Amino acid sequence: MIRERLREMGLDRPLLTPAQAAAVLEVGRPTVERLIREGRVSTVRVGRKVYITAASLERLVEGGVPAAQAAWLALRLMERAGLRVELFTDPKGGFRASAGGKEALGVSPEEALLALAEALAKEEEA
């Protein structure tokens, strides 16, 4: 939803100014500044300027859990289940996670851990 809106507005890029983010969300700049203070959107500082990540706007609108937080929770649950989780870079690029005889690939460590958790969960359901 946010990606389509960004394209329509000619703002299809990973970083937005607070004013651009306000326009995308159709709120005032003070609301965006409050979202930043509350940590509900991710920011990147370049010199004295602050930019908001488009991905964090998507999470905000869609109500999703940040990938890093979801991966950390999945890792903790796998360890509590007695699984030894290994994470390493893949020679072909990306990351590989393994545990319990299963392996999964991802372009980031978070994606690899979440893919592994999904594979293990599917195995449990079967």
The ranges of the chain annotated as CATH 3.30.160 are 67-125
- How is domain 2-62 classified at the CATH fold level? Multidrug-efflux Transporter Regulator; Chain: A; Domain 2 (1.10.1660)
- How is domain 67-125 classified at the CATH fold level? Double Stranded RNA Binding Domain (3.30.160)
| Gap between the Cα atoms of 43 and 91, Å rounded | 32
Contacts of 14 (CB under 8 A, 6+ apart): 53, 54, 55
Kindly report the number of other CB atoms within 10 A of residue 41's CB atom: 22
The ranges of the chain annotated as CATH 1.10.1660 are 2-62
pTM attached to this predicted model: 0.51
For the stretch 46-96, pLDDT in tens is 999 999 998 888 888 877 666 777 888 888 999 999 999 999 998 888 899
What is residue 103's predicted lDDT score, i.e. its pLDDT? 93
